[in-house]
Amino acid sequence: MASDRHGTDPAPSPRWLTPGVGSIGAASFFSDTGHEMATSVLPTLLTTTLGAGPGALGAIEGVSDALIGLSKLAGGPLSSDPGRRANLARGGYVLTAVATSLIGVATAVWQVAILRALGWMSRGIRSPARDTLLVSLVPREAYGRAAGLERAGDNAGAVLGPLLAAALVGVVGVRHTILLAFIPGVLAAVAITLAAREARRVLGAEQGRRTLSFNLGELRRAGLARAFLPVAMFELGNVATTLLILRATDLLHAQGRSLVAATSLAIVLYAAHNGAATIASIGGGHLTDRRGPRGVFAAGAACYVGAYALFALDQQAWPLVLAAFVLAGIGIGLAETAETTLVALILPDHLRGNGYGVLGLVQSLGDLGASLVAGLLWAAVSPTVAFAYAATWMVGSLIAAKVVTAPARARD
């Protein structure tokens, strides 16, 4: 799973942190800032303004999660074509910004559902195009650092977005806060456009149109199914962060805090989770280029085992809840960076978009299954059993990462 090594006196590596690579990191940062601004106040809009219940919120989010995985799979073949990927990425960012901000003027729950689904589908279909653009801008030995920078931008946006929403909602209200999410969304589209221009200069004249295909046979022969076994196990244990927030709120509330105080503290601790993920993405990218993605991925899974062990315990003080959030943040920062780099190392350019699409589907379906089963176990038995279940999958992915033989192109 590491990059290829050739010769004993390698030439100096070309500069990898170009304006185009930085622009892709900025696009992820701005886009997730806008997304999190809207997401932070969406429950209030649905329940308080539109009079819907938590069931409607769960249904909207569940359908959106499923659609993002399918749209990533569909975006894979499209992004494998150099002639399409720039427009696909740009259009995806623009449509995400428009659909998300228009939720602010919705007057019915069904309108929110349609706009939310459209926004998530746009996020999904643009992701393989963004990732293939990123890989086209850097040398092979810098794939990890580039992936880490992009993931860091995304996680940093997840820190800033809720903070902006918290500051704005008391000044301009819920609807205008969602409408203002359009601004960072547009900045994201501008940033990805700059990256696409650099990619065109790097690649030279665009190649002719390629026949659209999922290329599942080629992906299998390249060893993607074997490489994705640890990834699938990891995602089946990767429960939604909303469950982590809920568990933290319950623990903090049980210690004598009011529900409002417990919720506020849980959100602050969740911000620390995203901050840890940002730092871990950068560090994980550098480690991936040095050591290969396998060890970095395994370290991410190990961090999750520790985080879930802490979340499974009762009667925790807030420093232990913070430690659990930070461990989970480090885990996702390391694992996602390693997963993205793995696809880039295994597959040639004409298959990378397809590989990223399959990765997105595995992530989405795995996360959906993890949250669904963990939620049912939580309700039927206890949160301790739910987090023990999730931790079991993480242990399995850790073992699989060490045992399963890596494809030749990405072998340590």
Compute the residue count for the chain. 412
- The residue with greater pLDDT, 206 or 29, is 29
Asked if 149 and 282 touch (Cβ cutoff 8 Å), the reply is: yes
Say if 316 falls within a structural domain. yes
Q: What is the pLDDT of residue 204?
A: 62
Say if 10 falls within a structural domain. no
| Of 19, 219, 227, 35, the residue nearest 127 (C-alpha) | 35
CA distance 143 to 196: 17
- If asked whether residues 166 and 54 sit together in one domain, one would say yes
- If asked whether residues 298 and 189 sit together in one domain, one would say no
Q: What is the pLDDT of residue 387?
A: 93
The number of angstroms, rounded, from the C-alpha of 382 to the middle of its chain's C-alpha atoms is 28
Q: What is the mean pLDDT of residues 223-233?
A: 90
Question: pLDDT tens digit string along 365-388?
Answer: 888 888 888 888 888 888 899 999
Question: pLDDT tens digit string along 149-193?
Answer: 999 999 999 999 988 988 888 888 889 999 999 999 999 999 999
Q: What is the mean pLDDT of residues 46-69?
A: 78
- If asked whether residues 137 and 277 sit together in one domain, one would say no
- If asked whether residues 239 and 197 sit together in one domain, one would say no
Q: What is the pLDDT of residue 341?
A: 93
Cα–Cα distance list, 210 to 62, 84, 184, 206, 389 (Å): 34, 9, 33, 11, 44
Where a domain ends, among 154, 186, 205? 205
Q: What is the mean pLDDT of residues 63-70?
A: 81
- If asked whether residues 267 and 123 sit together in one domain, one would say no
| Of 246, 384, 387, 262, the residue nearest 318 (C-alpha) | 262
Q: Is 388 exposed, middle or buried (0-12, 13-18, 19+ CB in 10 A)?
A: middle
Question: pLDDT tens digit string along 123-153?
Answer: 989 999 999 999 989 999 999 999 999 999 9
Say if 384 falls within a structural domain. yes
- Other CB atoms within 10 Å distance of the CB of residue 108: 10
- Other CB atoms within 10 Å distance of the CB of residue 392: 15
pTM: 0.83
- If asked whether residues 176 and 229 sit together in one domain, one would say no
- The residue with greater pLDDT, 9 or 48, is 48
- Find the CATH number of the domain harbouring 246: 1.20.1250.20
What rounded mean pLDDT belongs to the chain?
86
Question: pLDDT tens digit string along 278-319?
Answer: 999 999 999 999 999 999 999 999 999 999 999 999 877 899
- If asked whether residues 145 and 38 sit together in one domain, one would say yes
- pLDDT at residue 412 above 60? no
- How much of the chain, in percent, has pLDDT values that exceed 90? 47
- pLDDT at residue 72 above 50? yes
Confidence of residue 218 (pLDDT cuts 50, 70, 90): confident
Residue 233 belongs to domain spanning: 214-412
CA distance 16 to 143: 9
- pLDDT at residue 198 above 70? yes
State the total domains in the chain.
2
Say if 80 falls within a structural domain. yes
Say if 293 falls within a structural domain. yes
- If asked whether residues 271 and 382 sit together in one domain, one would say yes
> What is the three-class DSSP state of 49?
helix
- If asked whether residues 65 and 95 sit together in one domain, one would say yes
Where a domain ends, among 205, 223, 245? 205
Where a domain ends, among 183, 205, 227? 205
Say if 11 falls within a structural domain. no
